Amino acid sequence: MDDTQRYENKFMGFEYKTISVHRNMEAVYTDSYPSFGWNLAEESIAPSINNVVLKFKRNRKIINKAELTRLEREFEVQAKEIEKLEESRLTIPIIIAYGIGIIGTVFMAGSMFSYLANLLPLCIALAVPAFIGWIIPYFAYKNISQKKTKQILPIIDRQYDAVYKVCEKASELLYN
């Protein structure tokens, strides 16, 4: 073996990838990216408290690179869909709870203005729905979020199954 062959075999070029993911999806990304040939090089906290920056690297001369890249994009689309579904699970209940709270606050403002106008019976009549409007949001949020979770959880599970199938395909390409 001549000197050039010996040195060619020792050098390995890498390509790098940096992604920012939501903290609750960190395990999905760190477990899935090795299926596409990526190895976790570094992990750090992103400027946002809820995000984590993951840095990966892989061999530039990886086999089946085009197909692995296509599967990787498919994985990323499915992972983003999981994030959207997780987020939608809480968005509607939060909006409804805030809306009820604002309505309660409007009633309280009316109650205060009627008190200042010396209309005590109207003040009391407006204060009752105001306090109810401040108490109900908690229970409305809990109830609606439980219903929404029951509705969305099977969809999220199917999405995770799709993610795992993509990772299995990529892993077969990479290691066979």
Cα distance from N-terminal residue to C-terminal residue, the chain: 28
Beta strands in the chain (DSSP E): 14-22, 39-45, 51-59
pTM of the model: 0.74
11-15, 26-30, 146-150: range with lowest mean pLDDT: 11-15
Q: Is the pLDDT of residue 5 over 90?
A: no
**3-state SS, residue 58:** strand
- List, for residues 86-102, the tens digit of each pLDDT value: 998 889 999 999 999 99
Instruction: Count Cβ atoms within 10 A of the Cβ of residue 110 and give its class: 0-12 exposed, 13-18 middle, 19 or more buried.
Output: middle
Kindly list the domain boundaries of the chain, sorted by start residue. Answer: 1-62, 64-176
Burial class (CB in 10 A: 0-12, 13-18, 19+), 176: exposed
pLDDT digits (tens, 9 = 90+) for 114-147: 999 999 999 999 999 999 999 999 999 999 999 9
